[in-house]
Structure 1
Amino acid sequence: MIDVLLLAVVLLLAVGAGFSAYKARAIEQAYPNIGELTDIGGLRMNALHLPRPATADLPPLIFIHGASGNLRDQFEAFADPLAGRAEMLFVDRPGHGYSERGGAENALPSGQADAIARLMEKRGIESAIIVGHSFGGAIAAAFGMRHPDKTIGLLFLAPATHPWPGGIDWYYTLAAMPVFGWLFTHLLVMPIGLRRVESGTLGVFSPNERPADYIEKTAPELVLRPRTFRNNAADVANLFAYVSAQAPRYREITAPTVIITGDSDDIVMEELHSRGLARDIVGAELVTIRHIGHKPDYAATDVVIAAMEHLAGQSRDLQALAQEAEARLASHKASLSTAAAPSPQAVTGS
């Protein structure tokens, strides 16, 4: 009886691991690498590099994606609107997308910031405006502290940079565990995750609309690959202790800084993180946009680009532009509500 039970467990493990491996290969075939791997010493880091165009009016821009993401997320938001204006580097953070993980230091924002700095050197980028979304905000802050000579300016988008009340989602804790984490990521993450991609991405954009082709273009399923999910979970699991220790040091940041956040962000608490950064970094400008959730990079791309221009020394009234974005979003929401409302004829049956 014990032998039969053991055999059943082994078969279950084999089937689960086999399914995850099969789907991981299928995801990589559906979303092949659009960047280029560069050996930066200790790991090969993946990035999509757009060289400086002759028409550039902005300094180089480095884009750092958030948790569960990859370089396609920021590429889809900014590559076209900024075409012809700047050299751009969209990075897969260590252990994400198609970048290798490297050493244990890359499980912390400080290690990932150092990796990005080495990648810049390999790509011949002396300094840049560093753009960090969500988890990428913690890396942007670390970059500003550790590599001020490479930092023209810092742009934080719905950042995660300060300690917060409560914990993290259970699946991050489980996935980061030594043995159970391996089993969880190889057996259950793929089937569960594939069913949650639609609702999960809608939730990240809420209360704003998610672009209809967002999943197709940004490949969020890449994070479901077992090794990538484990790396992602380790990043998130380490974040609280890291920012608790590092947040008091943000006053060391001297680079010009802009923080853009929404007042309806259900993923990251803007009152802790964004307002905390504005308090801690001398001279930082906080731009809070009403009616926006966790994705100002998509919901208010024009304001974000204006912030890049501002950091480059151009005159931009970011607060006025934020108000224009608020009015635009409110008008769009009202038009959607009107379109969704039943006509009087439908209500009365006439």
Structure 2
Amino acid sequence: MIPKKLASSLLIVALALPGCGLVLENRIERREAAAEAAYPSEGRFVEVAGRRVHYVQEGRGPDLVLIHGASGSTRDFTAGFMERLTDRYRVTAFDRPGLGYSDNVSEAYEGPFNTRSASPAEQAAMLHRAAGMIGIENPIVMGHSYGGAVAMAWGLRHDPAALVIVSGATQPWPGDLGLLYNVTGSSLGGAALVPLLTAFAPEAQVERTIASIFEPQEPPPGYEAHIGAALSLRRASFRTNARQVTGLRPHVTAMSRDYPALRLPVEIVHGTADTIVPIDVHSRPLARQIPGARLTELPGIGHMPHHVSAGAVVAAIDRAARQAGLR
């Protein structure tokens, strides 16, 4: 959420200001407290092996689980998308482990110097257990972006009724993730740079980043005010997100070998103008790998079709429900 030039500058500052710890800590704590006051948890909690999982549940009907992407939370779905579905599904949006208001999978993935992260399979297992504890049965599981990898792990290991993958990061990709992720996902960056980003990230840059995620479309009215980007800038959430993203490629590399064995309804929705998770790298290969999978390509649509082309995503969910015999 921060440009390369600013990230580099803040890393230099981090190394140059070891004596300002107390002042910096106070500023960080104020900003984190302000974020949580402005964007409190929207739903309820369930405890899985001593770790809290936050979820929002609305509606009645067959179960539909929603899994958000990187730097996200349930608020991405409560910003107008869930309400399109609650008339005919019991919709449950989860905060992924370590993000929003959900605890990380375990303490082993916490701490400023740690570089390990929970795999999509570990995240799916935690959310699957949470789902069972709140009475969710035979769900359709929809994942967006990074959440698409978690949804695929759920499909490979926990036998859902169907999968809906929206702009999903499901395949290994060429190249690297750029300076910000490489630094903040490292031991030094997690300890030194992330606190500075939490303390000093400018609101204008956050707004520009949200806009860039929607390109070439624009965020819907009220999205920025609702999404609570400041929650993702809290130190623990920032580190978790960076580590999950930088650690994802080997997991999807391994998972992709098992995709051809899937035997359940799979709907895939992806915009052709998505430059964050390109359709050529991810969804087109995925559709070829899974027998019977259906790919809906959205010409000119970017990374957020569940907001800018929501009808197409809702239609994919309804098709998956019919294929699974739920409607």
Which structure is larger by alpha-carbon Rg, 1 or 2? 1
Confirm or deny that 1:90 pairs with 2:93. Answer: yes
Residue segments in structure 2 that go unaligned for 5+ positions in a row: 1-15, 110-116
Residue segments in structure 1 that go unaligned for 5+ positions in a row: 1-7, 316-350
Query: 2-side partners of 1:147 and 1:48: how far apart?
Result: 21
The normalised TM-score by structure 2 is 0.88
Q: Which residue of 2 aligns with 1:335?
A: none
Superposed CA deviations along residues 139-193 of structure 1, whole A, max 9, x for unmatched, are: 0110000001xx1110010010111111113222222222441121112344236
Structure 2 residue corresponding to 1:171, chosen from 175, 180, 184: 180
Letter of the 2:146 partner, please give it: F
Q: Which residue of 1 aligns with 2:227?
A: 218
Q: How does 1:108-123 map to 2 (within 5 A)?
A: 108-123=119-134
Q: Which residue of 2 aligns with 1:65?
A: 68
Query: 2-side partners of 1:308 and 1:180: how far apart?
Result: 40
Does structure 1 conserve the Cα–Cα contact (< 8 Å) formed by 2:24 and 2:199?
A: no
Q: Which residue of 2 aligns with 1:127?
A: 138
The structure carrying a bigger helix percent of its residues is 1
Shift of 1:314: 6.9
Q: Which residue of 2 aligns with 1:30?
A: 38
Q: Which residue of 2 aligns with 1:48?
A: 56
Indicate the SS of the match to 2:83: coil
More displaced, 204-213 or 22-31?
Answer: 204-213
Structure 1 residue corresponding to 2:259, chosen from 225, 243, 250: 250
Pairs aligned (count): 301
Letter of the 2:95 partner, please give it: D
Structure 1 residue corresponding to 2:213, chosen from 204, 221, 230: 204
Shift of 1:51: 5.0
Superposed CA deviations along residues 232-271 of structure 1, whole A, max 9, x for unmatched, are: 0110011011111221111122110010001100111110
Query: 2-side partners of 1:128 and 1:213: how far apart?
Result: 30
Does structure 1 conserve the Cα–Cα contact (< 8 Å) formed by 2:44 and 2:54?
A: yes
Query: 2-side partners of 1:172 and 1:194: how far apart?
Result: 20
Indicate the SS of the match to 1:99: coil
Superposed CA deviations along residues 304-326 of structure 1, whole A, max 9, x for unmatched, are: 111111111179xxxxxxxxxxx
Query: 2-side partners of 1:40 and 1:180: how far apart?
Result: 30
Does structure 1 conserve the Cα–Cα contact (< 8 Å) formed by 2:220 and 2:308?
A: no
Cα 1:119–1:144 change in 2 (3 A) is same
Indicate the SS of the match to 1:162: coil
Letter of the 1:192 partner, please give it: A
Higher RCO (C-alpha 8 Å, min separation 6): 2
Query: 2-side partners of 1:9 and 1:78: how far apart?
Result: 44
Superposed CA deviations along residues 4-32 of structure 1, whole A, max 9, x for unmatched, are: xxxx8344233223222211110110001
Does structure 2 conserve the Cα–Cα contact (< 8 Å) formed by 1:13 and 1:187?
A: no
Does structure 2 conserve the Cα–Cα contact (< 8 Å) formed by 1:107 and 1:235?
A: yes
Superposed CA deviations along residues 61-109 of structure 1, whole A, max 9, x for unmatched, are: 0000000000110122422212321111110000000001132486210
Letter of the 2:56 partner, please give it: L
Root-mean-square deviation (CA), in Å? 1.8
Does structure 2 conserve the Cα–Cα contact (< 8 Å) formed by 1:258 and 1:284?
A: yes
Q: Which residue of 2 aligns with 1:286?
A: 295
